[in-house]
Amino acid sequence: MKKVFFLLTTLVSISLSAQQLKGTVSDMDSGNGIPFAKIYCLETQNGATADSLGNWVLYNVVDNQMTLQVTAADYDSKIINVEDASSSISIKLNSAHIHLDEVIISTTDSKLQRYSTFPVDSRKIADLNKIEKTNLVDALTNMPGIYNQSTGNGIAKPVIRGLTGMRVLTSLNGLRIENQQWGADHGFALFNLGIGRVEVIKGPSSLIYGADALGGVIYLADEPYANANESELSFGSKLETNSMATVNNLSYKTSKNNLRFAVYGGYFNRANYRVPGNQFVLNSKNSGGSVKTAIGYNKKNWITNLRYQMLFFQNGLPGHTHDANPDVSSFLGDNQTRNYTIPAQIIMNHLAQWENKFYFKNDEVIAQVGFTSNDLKEYGESLFNPGIDMTLQNYSYNVRWKHQFNDKFELVTGSQGMFQSNSNSLSAEEILVRDANFVDLGAFSLLKGTFGTWNVQAGARFDQRSVETLDTTNFDKSFSGVNFSAGISKSSENFTARLNASSGFRPPHISELLANGVHHATMQYLVGDINLESERANQIDLYFGTHFDHLEIVINPFINQINNYVYKSPTNSTDSTSGLAIFDIRQTDALLSGGDIAVHYHPHIAHWLHLESNFSLLNAEDLSENSLPFTPQNRLNNIIKVDFKGEKKLKINNLSAQYVYFFEQNNVASYETSSDAYQLINLGCSGSYTGKHKIDFSFGVNNLFNIEYIDHLSRLKPYEIPNPGRNFYVKINLLLSKKKGN
């Protein structure tokens, strides 16, 4: 213990003599300082706030390279690359009224979204939750092309342009998250605790992230550390009426020059949710908690971050039954309860990551090692003996080197790999995924060029996955693939155009190769095919955007061809034991096409008003023009936001109204039913009280008119179980901050 204390004392002592970086932020036209502008360092993940004259100081400086994001209300964001910290920096911002151009951190460089050659959408979680959503995936659906395949309000799976499950990769701060995502009732492995922003890469993303990123990537990034020489204590609580939910979280963050620390804790609990008509969906309750911590340190040209998180989920399984012909009335009840009953899932996740970054004059090296553990127990007919008891452990590494040849060209090359093991408990009654080991190895190179307003890049990657079962099946096979990505973009002050072509591949999972039994989550008897080949995707993505002071229009069409697409096909036979329909797992070639159109209008005569609208369109079918299952409904999403400005301590910051229209879905697979159109209206209000400490609050309602609807992606749709009805919410957050001596 004395050695640990001595080490921490030494680090703090070293950080006291840290070099400082100073500067000013001012208006491009008037030259006046911009009060309280925010300066955020992407490398150290914290920053500073300017004073009332626009002056700022950063106390933790990285040698050779610092990337600063500068933001201020009513101004365009700006990215500044700093190589020499010895002199003061003067930053000038252009005034702007529309702010849809977020910084990108998930790819191989950090730049504003407008200048990317990738099809990526970057958002702050707080912006997605202007009208508070029940869970993180629900919040993501405010982004064009993103949907939620849900099982009630406790199990949610993100859908990117019609693809989900194993075709979508989730990354937290660069750590690949694995949670048996092949299962239809295995939800998102994370919830919104200490997460600051999300970036969604749409379409094949195997070049940077490796195998499986066929449909895209959900990249989540933690909140920034506290600013240097500051500490923050925050407590937040939310109440929801529909499921009588309580969501509570607590966080503490502190920084002393080069040393940073953060710890978070959170817990949520929901009862059965209410549907229109005042009935409740039986066993739709869920609860969970998490503890996460992070410590960061930088010295000269080295930055290190060590992170750990533990998550616990207890999910009821609505619509889960062993009856061959269930009656929909058996899934609804007149009483709302949150008591534990079966069937249910008990999930325990552990996530750990150690990251090291080294910056040289023309080079950057990033090395990450990580570990994830997903323990899944599913209780079907017994309170004490799980029917399913699996543990999935994953060890991963990620190494990347970037070399800057000159001010026009740079090369990025890297390697990722993982060792994964799946094991079933000896006491488990069912085995859905065999005991097996998986080994991934991959390497890529990417050349990028910048020529004025033009950005270009091209790269290639090789991956190999080895799969070996550890039981009598004796399955041992390797899959490999070569992938590419190429993009070009031109960005000016008022116009952006981008063309990107990329490929990806996904080896078949052993749940598809070796399936031979009942999967109660889908109420199907599945039969796999040991000869399945890897899925291979090729996507072309176009982007056209106009950016003016008061109007922004974005058109983003795409086409994604997938060879060897894995799907389930009904056999018109039933299993003699379970009585369930038998489905074969087969392959075909598929074509997904569509796009997004987004408009943001900010009237010149009403600077307090924002009108936003986006339309998502998707068509998914095989080459015989048969529709693919679980194709999302086309969607029109409109938001009106009214901003208020004032100097009072207690004030309303904004009012928001959202109108979402889901079009009818008649393009369905042979074993699906069509879905009716429906529309929802949501309202939200947020405000703050600024005294000695700051209090943020919000309240609102989702599904204002208590519309009864069943989303096409709901897993409860076959039983005609509606989605949740009207839901009022109230949220409050108390922030206590303190500045330390320099």
The pLDDT confidence band at residue 329, using thresholds 50, 70 and 90, is confident
Sign of CA pseudo-dihedral 128, 132, 136, 139: negative
CATH of residue 41 = 2.60.40.1120
Last residue of a domain, one of 96, 111, 129: 96
Q: Is residue 342 in some structural domain? A: yes
Beta strands at 363-379 and 302-316: parallel, antiparallel or unpaired:
unpaired
Confidence tier at 522 by pLDDT (50, 70, 90)? low
Structural domain for 706, as ranges? 183-739
Q: Answer yes or no: do 373 and 515 share one domain.
A: yes
Q: Is residue 409 part of a domain?
A: yes
Question: Is residue 174, in this structure, part of any structural domain at all?
Answer: no
Q: Are residues 413 and 553 in the same domain?
A: yes
Query: CA triplet 274, 275, 277: central angle to 5 degrees?
Result: 110
190 and 74 inside one domain: no
* Domain presence at residue 124: no
The span from the CA of 695 to the CA of 734, in Å, is: 5
Q: How sure is the predictor about 521, in pLDDT bands with cuts at 50, 70 and 90?
A: low
pLDDT, tens only, 112-168: 777 788 888 889 999 999 999 999 999 999 999 999 999 988 899 999 999 999 999
**Is 693:683 a contact under the CB 8 Å cutoff?**
no
pLDDT level of residue 11 (50, 70, 90 thresholds): very low
Instruction: Give the CATH number of the domain where residue 256 resides.
Output: 2.40.170.20
Residues 57-110: tens digit of each pLDDT: 888 888 888 888 898 887 888 888 887 777 788 989 888 766 656 777 777 677
Q: What is the DSSP string of 263-294?
A: EEEEEEEE-PPEETTTEEETT--EEEEEEEEE
> Tokens 């207890």 belong to which residue?
314
The reply to whether 76 and 187 lie within a common domain is: no
> Do both 417 and 554 map to the same domain?
yes
Is there a single domain that holds both residue 88 and residue 195? no
Of the listed ranges 164-168, 420-424, 539-543, 579-583, the one predicted with least confidence? 579-583
pLDDT category at 634 given cuts 50, 70, 90 is very high
- How high does pLDDT run on average in the chain? 89
Number of domains present in the structure of the chain: 2
- Count Cβ atoms below 10 Å from residue 558 Cβ, excluding itself: 21
Is 619 a residue whose pLDDT tops 60? yes
160 occurs within a structural domain: no
For residue 344, pLDDT beyond 70: yes
What is the Cα–Cα distance from 187 to 192, expressed in whole angstroms? 14
Largest CA distance in the chain: 80
Question: Number of C-alpha atoms within 13 angstroms, CB side, residue 565?
Answer: 26
**Which residue, of 96, 118, 134, is where some domain finishes?**
96
Q: How far apart are alpha carbons 468 and 475 in whole angstroms?
A: 6
Residues 70 and 208 in one domain: no
| 163-164-170 Cα angle (round to 5) | 120
Whether residue 368 sits in one domain with residue 266 = yes
Residue 4 falls within a domain, yes or no?
no
At residue 1, does pLDDT exceed 50? Answer: no
Confidence of residue 15 (pLDDT cuts 50, 70, 90): very low
Q: Looking at the domain assignment, is residue 120 inside a domain?
A: no
Q: Are residues 425 and 522 in the same domain?
A: yes
Residue found by looking up tokens 């340190």 in the block: 297
Share of the chain above pLDDT 90, in %: 61
User: Are 197 and 74 members of one domain?
Assistant: no
